[in-house]
């Protein structure tokens, strides 16, 4: 069983996710799917959503491919990090480095 998530480890693990989840207006061409904002979520919800992608219960090929081999601990870490991030606005990919730390919710 995974331990409580580490914000620092989650920040590192989320690096692979930033390209989509921090870019304004990111979407698939077909079918149209707008990438959701993920900051500020309750950790239990984030973990449940990511596990649903792992089990193909939430069908989205990109997400399923990106999370299929992540450990339960890594999911907890990502969730802990995202819970600390301002989800009220979508940030650009470099926003955290510029000091505002906002990630899309």
* pLDDT digit string, tens, across residues 13-34: 999 998 888 766 666 666 666 7
For residue 38, give the CATH number of its domain.
1.10.760.10
Q: Using CA atoms, how far apart are residues 89 and 57, in angstroms rounded to an integer?
A: 28
- Tokens found for residue 34: 């707008």
Domain that holds residue 49: 7-98
**Inside any domain, residue 14:** yes
Q: Is the dihedral of CA 29, 87, 15, 66 positive or negative?
A: negative
**Inside any domain, residue 1:** no
Q: Using CA atoms, how far apart are residues 86 and 101, in angstroms rounded to an integer?
A: 7
**Inside any domain, residue 2:** no
CB contact set of 98 (below 8 Å; sequence gap of 6+): none
Number of H helices, E strands in the chain: 5, 0
**Inside any domain, residue 17:** yes
**Inside any domain, residue 103:** no
Number of domains observed in the structure of the chain: 1
* pLDDT digit string, tens, across residues 44-102: 999 999 999 999 999 889 899 999 999 999 999 999 999 999 877 554 444 444 344 44
């Amino acid at each position: 069983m995974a331990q409580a998530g580490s914000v620092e480890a989650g920040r590192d693990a989320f690096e692979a996710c930033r390209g989509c989840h921090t870019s304004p207006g990111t979407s698939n061409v077909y079918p149209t799917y707008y990438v959701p904002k993920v900051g500020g979520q309750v950790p239990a919800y984030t973990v449940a959503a990511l596990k649903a992608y792992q089990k193909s219960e939430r069908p989205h090929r990109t997400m399923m491919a990106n999370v299929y081999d992540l450990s339960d601990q890594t999911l907890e870490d990502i969730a802990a990090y995202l819970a600390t991030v301002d989800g009220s606005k979508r940030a650009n990919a470099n926003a955290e480095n510029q000091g505002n730390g906002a990630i899309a919710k």
